[in-house]
Structure formats: C-alpha cells, structure tokens
Structure 1
Amino acid sequence: MQVFEDISGRMGLDDVVALPAGKPAGFTPVGPDGIKPGFSRSAWWLRAFVRNEGAAPMPLVLTLREPRLQSVTFYVQRGGQWQRERPDSSFEPVPRYPSLRFTLGPGEQVGVLIREAGDTALSLEPKLYSPAENEALDRRETLWGGALIGGIVALAWSALLIAYFSRSTAFLLLAALCTSTALYEAAIRGYTKVYLWPHAAQWNARSVPIFGCTAVLFFLAFILNIARGEKTNVPARRILLVFAALEVVCSAGAAFGDLRFFDQAALLVNGLLGIAQVGIAFVLSRRRTPTARLMLVTVAFGIFDFGLHLAESLGLFAHDLAWLNSDIHPNPIVAVIGLATHLVVLAAWVDHVGRQRRAARDELVQWQTSEQERLRYEVAQRTLALNEALLDAQEKNRQKIETLGYVSHDLRAPLATITSYAKLLQYEADSRQSALILSIERSVNYQLGLIDELIGYAKTELRPLEIAPVQTDLPALLNDIADYSIALCAQLNNRFCCQALTSVPRWLTIDGRRLQQVLLNLLSNASKFTRDGMVMMTIRARAQGGQWLIGFEVADTGIGMELGHDSHPFSAFRRIEAANGTTGLGLIIAQRIVDTMGGELRVSSALGEGTSFSFEIVAPVASAETAGADERVPYSSLMAEQGPRRRASRRTADAPPADDRKTLAALARDGRMTDIERWMDSVGEARPACAAFLAELRSCLDALDFAAIEALARVDDEDLAISA
C-alpha cells in the first residue's frame, strides 16, 4: 500500500496515476495497519495491489470500516486502464461502510486506488476480507451493537417510567441522557445511516457530534438538578453552566455550521470538561453528605466512561489490557462498560431516592406525633377557656333573668293604676263609653297576663311556655277574641267573620290565656297581609268520651304564598314576614303553644288566593259543680260578621286640602290623639268652611276610632281625584 496527500484536493485521476512512487512528491509506502490523518482539508489517495497466488478464483471485499467517511471513491486497474467502480445497488439496505467487491482469478493481480476526503476525522485503514469473513464480522458487529443500543434504550425506558410515577425531573433528565447516548452509539456505528437517513451522508456525519454534545448536556443538567433538588453547593457550578452553554453551541454549530471546526471544538470542550469533572470529584470526595456521595459516583463513572472512549479511540490501551481491543469499531467492550456505568448511576440514584423517602416518612411521622401533642394541648387549653366562658355566660344570664324579673314586676304597678282608674270611670260612663272602658280593661288584663308570664319565665330560668288548664268559659273567650279582631281588621279595611260550624261546649278545662294568645297571633298575621278583604275564624267541636276535640281555623283572602315541595311552610311564611319588616315571633310562639297543648299547627296557602292556619286540641269537660250537665251553646248564637268601621261620608266642598289630609292620615295611623286635636284647632282657625268635616272628625275622635279617621282622609282624597 502507498499513500499520497493531495493538499489542494483538486487533482484528478490521471494526475495521481502519473505520480512517481517512492518519492516525496509521489506515493509513499504505508504499513499494513494504514494511517489516521485525522481532521484534514487535503484529499488522500491510497494505492494498493492485490495478487491471487492461489490456484482457484477468489472473491474479495475491500472495506474501510469507518461509517462517518463522507467522500470515498474506488478506482480499479483493469487491462492497464484505471476505471471508477460504481457502488453496487443490489445491497439493501445501504451498507454501513464504503466497500469494493471484486474477484481475482488464479495468479491475477489488480491495482486499487482509493480517494478519501471529508470534514470528519479521516482514517486510511482498508481491510481485505473474503465475503464469508465480512458477513461474519458484520453479524458480530450487529449483535454487539444491538445489545448495547438495546440496553441503553431499556435503561432510558426504565428511567422514564420511574420519572412518570415519581414525578421526578432528575429521572426524566436521566432518561433523556440515555436516549441521547443510544442515538450517539447508533450514529458512530453507522446504524443511523442505514435506517434513519440512508441517502444523507452529510447529515450522518453531523449527527455524531450533535448527539454526543446533547448527551453531555443532559449529563450536566442531571448533575445540576440533583444539586438544586438537594440544595447542595456544587463546586464550580458556574463553570458547569458555561460548559453546558458550550455544548449547546457545539451541537448547533455541528448541525448548521462548519462540521470540521465544530467537531474539533466539541472534542476540545469535552476534554476540558473531563478535567473539570476530575476537580469536582476531588472536592466532592471530601464531603460526607449523601448527596455529595451520589454526585461523586455520578461524576466518577462519567469520567471513567469518557476516558475509556478516549483511550480506545487513540489506541492507548497497554499490552496488559489487550483484551479490551477488538476488531469491531467502535469497541463494543468499552461501550458495554459505559452502559454498566450508567446502570450503576441509575441504581445509586434509585437507592438515594429511596433513602430520602424513608427519611421523609420518618420525619413526617415525628412531625405528626408532635403535631398531635400540640393539638391535644391546644384543645385542652381551649376547652378550659370555653368552660370558663360558659360559667361566665351562665352568670351573666342569671343576672339578666333577675333583671327581667325585676323589670316585669315593676311594670305591674302602672298597669294596675290604669285598671283602677278605668274602674272609677266605669261608674260615671254611659253605655257607649262603658264598652270602650271594658275594652281598655281587657287589654290591660291581657298585658298583665303577659307580664305574669315574663315573671314566671324569669323564675323558671327560660323553661318552655307552660300550660295551666283551668275551667274556662269558651264562648266568652271567643267573644273577647272577636272584639280584638274587629279592631285589627279595620286597620286595612277588612271584614271579620267569626263562625261556629257546630255547637260548642260552654265550659272546658283549658288554658284560655294561651289559646287567646295563639288565635290573636294568627288573626294579627291574617289582618296584616290582607287589604280590603275577608278574615274568618271558624270553630268546630266534637265530643270524645269525657273530652272535647276543638278545632280552630283562621283564614284570609290576602296575598298568600307559594309553598314548594322542598321547603317547610312555616319557614316560607316567616320569610314573608321578614320581607315585610316583622320579626315572625308571633307564628313561632303560636306553634310552640299548640305543640305544648298536644296539637299540630297546619298551614295551607296559594299565591294570591290567601292563607289558612288550622289546629285541633283536646280539652276535658269542666266539673259538674261549675258547669251544667252537657251545657252547649248553639252555633247560630256564635255567628257574627263585622265589616270595617264606618267610613266618613264623602265630601268634596268642605274637605281640607290634600296635603293637610295626608298629615291627618299619618297622625291617625300612629294613634296620636293629642296631635290630631291640635291639627283640628289649626284647620278650624284657618278654614272655617271645613266645619262639617271637623265635626264628623270630632265624633270619630271621641269614639277613639282612628281607622275611621284614616278612612275619612282617604275617602275624601278619592272624591277630590274624581272631581278633578
């Protein structure tokens, strides 16, 4: 074999053939192992002569076992003429190595010229094989390459699964590192040229530094991620960041720039990085933290793997390490050792993560124990504080109850005075005034009953409403309730009707005061939500042995309400009361009293059609000493209907102006008797023509009929509107 370097790279075949042999300006001899010019801008010519000294034809394969070679041309001397050999297209897939196939007859000699040029590191190491030897070597390379690349891919898949289930960025970076390493190994062995881009020799050459720099970049990212996650101060962290940036630049330059320059730059950068990693490993070896030990293992094995590849590529293995040499290039033994280093790193990292999680679990258990103790102490302290607050609240509540008892007791004195004066007035009153005074006495007695209840409430310390049944005259009680109801209904121009559907007993053993409280609360609600309508109270009675089942119903034609299936009717009615500015306590009190009496307060209503409350109670018959035997009152004697109070006659000529009448209506609505008299005096002096109006107003005021006074002003407003 002879070699010639064409520095210009432009010499043709004829120029090269004409060169003398054995002279400095021509071909020079080469040893049997060839030469490695490395990165060179020259074109290199290799001339070889092959002779068959056997007695049989011999097929041969001349191969340059370097898949990264970009431009290789074969010329064969036949019959004294040099001819360019075309690649055999019958081989599928595309062969990984440039090769020449030919057959020599017995005693035949052939000359071969090989031109090689490119941007990658050149290697002039032609090998001559028989077809069987070449196929056997390819099979061994494929076996070793498949095992190596498959192992790295399996490692990447394992790291990816761990990253998915543990949500760990470090394992994700490790998976990316293994994937880049697998692509790098496939590129330097020519498998990417065969399976990924068979017709792009230039890209196949560029892919080696791209994947190599990418793998180193992910290795640096893995180291920095471990340090950040473990909050470990990595020595020369900024230097590692600079190397990571240089790896990105070299990878991008190898893809789009001058391949020769960036390929050499990548080798230089990775060599300097190896030196920096040696220093980092030395510093980490002096730290005894778990994270420092893990990073030391990672850096040490990374340096070891890089050193093996560098020594193998430079042929630096000593004679004692000849077992590391191989006829397969790149060396699969070195690559498998590199795979083992990756597995060690993964195992170390998995063990480290497991230790971290166990430590975190133990720390969590300790924190939970201490937190439970803290919470138990806080609960005890707060329980003690709540008990003290409860005792304090009970003491304040007792004081409030005592104050309520004192105030309720003092309220009895002025009401008793009113009752005494009412009795004195009763002696000199006529029949009409006597009826009004009796109404005052009934109201005062009702208020005295409520005050007695407050006193009892204070004495029993907020016990529920108690029922005290006594012998009660039921018709007289109903008549009193009817008198109250007439006044309530007149305020909004409603008609009141009290009707007994059956005959009722006269004497019953019942708490009449509680029954009156229930009915008045229901009638008050009915008159409050009804205007210009009807309020009706109906009573029915049915004897059951020695007892009576008494039923009451209070119905109105007012606004009504819509009762949904998912809401309680009393809750809906209380919301209506709250919307109209009332408290809703009346209905609550009525419901509690009815429940205490053993009944159930029911409601039925429809929006715009009115509301009906009903309940039934069981009352024993009074003793024979007080009531006559089976004394009943017929239902016809209890039927009574009372319309609104008399309305003022319609006047237009002698009525005061509208503004004055509005003031009068407001005073009557509030029951301000003294202010109404002052209003009458001022209007009488200013408007003598309103004498008739004032006379009728005086009669209403003497009767204390404030509803009629309000109606008088409102009726005249309507008349004035009509006349206008």
Structure 2
Amino acid sequence: MILVRLHRLLLALLVGWCFCSLARAQSLDLSELPPRVDLVPHLQLLLDADASLQPESALQQADWQPATLRQLSRGSTAAALWLRLDLVNSSPEPLTRWLALGNPRLERVELHRFDSEEGWLLETQRAGMAYPPSVPLARGMDAVFALTLLPGEHSHLLLRVQSRTVMTMQPQLWQPLAYLDQKLLDDLRYLLPIGVTLGLVLYLLANTLARGNQLLFLLGLWLGLGAAYDFAYYGYLRRYLLPQGSELAARLPHLLGLLSNLVLVVYMQVYLEMRRRCFWRLFFPACAILLIAFSLNTLFGDLRWSIAISALFLVLFYLVWPLALIQPWREGVPYVRAFTLLLGCVWVFTVMRIVATLGYFHTLGLAVLYAAIAFKVAMAFVLLYLVARYSVSESRHLEAMQAEWLVAQQIEQERLSQAVRSRSAALRQAAVAADEAARAKGELLARVGHDLRAPLTAIMGYAGRLEEAEGTLRQRALAIGRSAREMLALINGLLEYARIGVQPDALLPQPLYLGAFLRSVAAQASELAARHGNRFEFRLEGDLPDVVALDAKRLRQVLMQLLHNAAEFTRQGRIELLVQTRAADQADPQALPQLIITVRDDGPGIAADQLPTLFQPFQRLGAGQSHQEVGLGLAIAHQWVVRMGGSLKASSAQDQGTTMRIWLPVEPSDETTIAIRHLMRQDSRLPELRAEGRRLWLVDDSPAVRELLLADLTGQGFIVTTLADGREALERLSAPQQQAPDLLLTDFRMPGGDGLAVLRLARARWPDLPVLLLTSAPEVLAGKEHGFSAVLAKPVSLAELRLTLARLLGLTVEGEA
C-alpha cells in the first residue's frame, strides 16, 4: 500500500511539473482576452492512434506538438485527438468562459481539468452527440464546456476528442453572452435557406397534388431531404429532437445525405430519360442500389466504415454523372441547361463536403459558409423560377390539349347525336311494329280462345244434361264431357304457353311468408295425392328464410303442375315435397340464397331417352307407357321457372319413380315489406271475447304486425303493451318491481333475443305465465320440448288467435269462428 501511494504521489508530481512547464509556455489570462479567442495557436496536440491512452498517460507522451487547423480537420478517423491548454485568472473576480469546438457533429468529447499546483484531477466534463449537453443553454449547438476560474486560479485542461463521424474542429474561447449572440446570427444564416427550401418543397408538393406530376414530386422530395440533411448537419436535429444524445443522433445526418443523393439519382434518371440510353440506363439503377445498401449499413452497421466507403463512392459518382448531361444538352431537353448549371453548383459543394469528410479540406471557414448559404438561397429561387416556368408551360400545353379535346368532343358528340337520332327512329319504328305484332297476337289469342271455348262450353253443357239420363246414353254423355274437359285443358295450356311469349315480363314478385305459402301448397297436394290412394309427405329442411320476395301465383302454378303429374302417374304409392335452402356464394356479392324444391314419386318413371325432350312442347311418352299424353304442363312450368331465374331438371329410372328438382334464387326480405292484407288470414266470422282489464304484452319486430294485433286486441278489451324487439322485451322482463301480465304474446325471430330467450326469462320470473308464440316457421319447433303454451303460424288467423287466447286465459267466447 505504501508503494502504491508513493507511486501515485510521484505520478502527480510529474503531471504537475508537466503542467507547470506548459503554463510557463502558453498560459492564457482570461482577464485579458476579448469576447472571442481562436485557440488553435495556443493548443498542443497529441494523436492517439488506437484511442487507448488515459489522461495521465497521455500527459507523459513525448510527441506533443503545436496544433494546426489541418491537424484538427482529419475527416473520418478511428484515432483520438488529445488537446491541452493552460488558463489563468489574474483578475480579482471570478471569470466564466465557454470552450466551444465549433462542430455540432463531434460524437465524444471529454474535458479533464487538473489542479495547477498538485496536478490532481479536479473534474471531468463530457459533451458531443453521445452525451447530454454539459451546458444547457448551448444545447445542440457545439461541443461546449463551461469553465469558471476563481481569482488567481490556475487551471490545466486536457481534451480528448473521438468521433466516428467527420472530425473537424475550430476551438474557440467565448464569453457566454457573445457566444449566444453569435449563435443567434448563425441560426439566421443556417435556417433562412432551410426555410426558403421548405417553402419551395411545399409549393412543389401542392403542385404535385394538383397535377399529379412525378418530376415535381421527386424534385420536392430531393429538396426536402436536402433541407432535412442541413437541419441535422448544423445540429438542429440534436437540439430539438434528440437533446439527450443517442446513437441515432450520430447516424441520422449521414443517412439523410445518402437518401438525398438517392432521390437525386432517381430524379436524374426520370428527368433526363436515361432508360433509353444504353450505358446510363444501367449506371443510375446500380448507383441507386448501392446508395440503398449504404443507407442500410449507416442505419444498422458500422458507421465509420459506412461513412468512409460511401464518401469514396460519392466522389466517383460525382466525377462520372456530369457526363450524363452531354447528350441531353445536345438533344435540347427542356431546361437542361439551367438544370446543368444548378447541378454543377450542387456538384461543387457536395464534392467539397465529401473531401472534408475524408479530411482533405476544411469547410468551416466563413467564406465557404457564406458562399454555401448564398448558393442555397439562390438555388431555391432559381428552382422556384424553373418550376414556375415549367408549370406555366405545362398549363399552356394542357390548355391547348383541352381545346383540341373539346373540339374533338364536339365533333364526336355531333356524330353520336346523329347516330342516336337515326337509331332512335329505327327503334321507335321497331317498337311500334313489335307493339302492333304483340297486340295482334294478343287479340288473336283472345279471339281463338273465345272461339274454341264457346263450342266446348256448349258441348259440356249438353253433355251435362245428357248425364242425367240412364243406361248407354249416360255412359256416352260422360265420355263426351270427359273428352270436352280434356280438350278445354289442352286449349287453356296452349293459350297460356303462347301468352308467355306475348308477356315476357309477366312476373310480379311480392314479399310473403315462405312457410305459410309452402304449407298451403302442401295442403292442396295432399288432396291431389289422396285421389289415387297415395301417401303424401311434406318436409322442410335447413334454416329457411321467414320472408322472401317471389311471384306466389306462378310458383304455385309450377309446383301444382309437378305435384299433379306425380299424382296422376302414381297409384298406391308415395309422393314427397321436400324444400331445402342453400346459402348465397360469399365470393359473389350479387348472389342470392337458393330454394331447392324437390317433388319425388315412386311411380312408373320415364325412359332415359325421353328425359332430354321432356320440357319441350307437344312431346309424347313412348308407346309402352300406360299414360301417353304429356301435354304442355311441363313446358309451361319450365318456362316460368327459367323466367324466375331458376332451373328445373328431371331424373328418373324405369319403374323406380321420377324426381323433379327446382333451383330457385330468392331475395330474403322482412315483415315490414309485406302488404298489410297478407299479414292476416281472412276469416268469414270472428268470435268475440270478453277480456276487459286483461293485460297482455305483445313482442314483435314488425311495426305492421304490432299495429294490426294492437287494433284487434284492444277492440276485445285487452290492455296491450307493445315491445319492439327481443332486446326491449328482455330489458322489460329484467326490470325490478315489474308487474306480471296476464299473457305474453311474442314473435320467434327478433333482433336482440329470440322467442326462446323471452320464454326462458319470463318463466324464470313468473313460472305460470302463459306465453303464446307467433312464428312464420313453426316447423323449427316441431318435435321439440320448447315450453310455449301455444304456437300459431303466420300469417295469423284472428279467429284462431282469439280462440287460443280464450283457451289460455279462460275467457268467455260470444259466437263461433
């Protein structure tokens, strides 16, 4: 321990002796200095090639030498520079000075202050882009240190400077107020051209949005990146966006410079049309790819290596690309001369900066600085002038093109008007002819129908009288009547088949309850099937829509024709009506869900060679069949199905029955679109109830249904509370202190909660409450333990509804349904 302390004491004495020798050689008296002092003549410099020396070991080196401006501007280097300086305060007052190195892009700067008597290290300060500012008032401007010396104090300073970016310095000693005043002037010098450039950028972007011009956008982007590069180069990015210092603060200036050159390369390739020039169409894309690679390496890789390599590349690039302007100059490309002059100035100052990066030129001199500022302002106004001239020229060209287009448009419009007039006249004549033909055809059909039906009606009348006789005469009269009825059915089929062509748009789709419509068809089919001892089955499969828009008359006609044929050709067998649904194709936004209606029987079947012509008119079955006449029924049914946008197909096997299947697109709808006359079933006589004072809740999402039921039920003496949907009903049932109604009448499918949800909540609160369900699809609940007191199908029969309410509530009925 004693040897260690002795070694430290000897080292301190040696350091003190070195500083005493230095103080005698070049001490600066702060009391005698002007507001600004250039420190280059007063500094000693030591080059630390591998950046490994500590302050004490650096002082012991023997190769200290006087500093020069060239030695302080080394460009991109991995070495560290050591600077030493001696200060003294001979005044009777404390003095404060700021030591500034004149470069905001230095990365790491350390100031070590030693005691002049003992040689002890008094303090260490750090500045640069990697550290927070040591002097808050000078934030982001330079690497600045605040030095305060007491009266008679003698201090020795040792500075260590290391930077992966460009190492250029112009050390100065300032009075604080003088330094801040000077920086205000510098801000004006630096920010004025940046502001003018940004104004030009905004103008170019506005023109880009208005005109959609690619060149204006690239020019604005290039100028904007150049302004951002200057903003970072002079330290304003560090001052305003990264005040605490970071790795990004060191990388961004060089990255913005590379991106600016990248956009310049793209701009030149587009503006000078380099794609049609053999060498340059490969040169500029290759340069763009290299600049992108250098940019990525600057952002994520070794910064010093990226700066050095990219600087060499840019020197070569800026030496080569001026040759690309020779051929466009000769060809007289618009504004190429002004563009060449402008890029020549850009070339000069860019090369100066690149050479400074390599350490061969010092760009911090005032002459170069002022020249660069003047050039940038001039460049901005020249560009503004060129863009304005370009915009005026483009506007004139556009106006000329618009004038030519208007003339051509007028000529084309006159030609089209003449063509439309002549075509309209031809179409009017064709329409008149078609109307006359249709009217004539309709009149002919009406006349023929009347002329054919009249004698048949007379024959059927006389045959009906003769059927009252007895014996052989009666049998002959029955045969005459049967033949006359078959002839009348054939005539009616012929007339209807002909009318389909006369009235091609005879469909009238209307919203209706799909389930009720199918049940009514099934009821008629059941009677048809029973005539020949057949068993009829009706099934609904899948989630069918409650309400659809279709032509009920035509679809009923088609289905009854198919069911009639099945009943006629089947004896003591089975006839099935099956209805299924297929969801719409999600890939096609115009697609509709489809109904698949199948009529199947187990009759004798149809031969395979007769199936292709089954739906053609005037076709007969083979001679081997017991029923020879097919008639026009299937042809008419097929035409109506096709007219409705669907398809009808048949399949059969000999002696194994026939299957007719319809694929029909349907448009789902809702109850609000159903005509009021179709919401209720018409009853010849309605029973009257005595329901004075009975409270009833009505839940239905159709306003029309609610209004009809409300009017009828209040007329019977009920006190009715209407609820718009399932959500409102559930909220009402969940409300505390709610008095129970005498009966709850609810729809099944509703937004916010279906009828089952309403039933469960109602029974959970009032177990004995009668709940009556109205639904357009009672088949959904068939065979299930649903728990409803009763289920009625829509459209509702008021007579059936009143009798059901009377049964559930024990009401007196006056009259019968």
Q: TM-score, normalised by structure 2?
A: 0.45
Larger Rg: 1
Higher helix share: 1
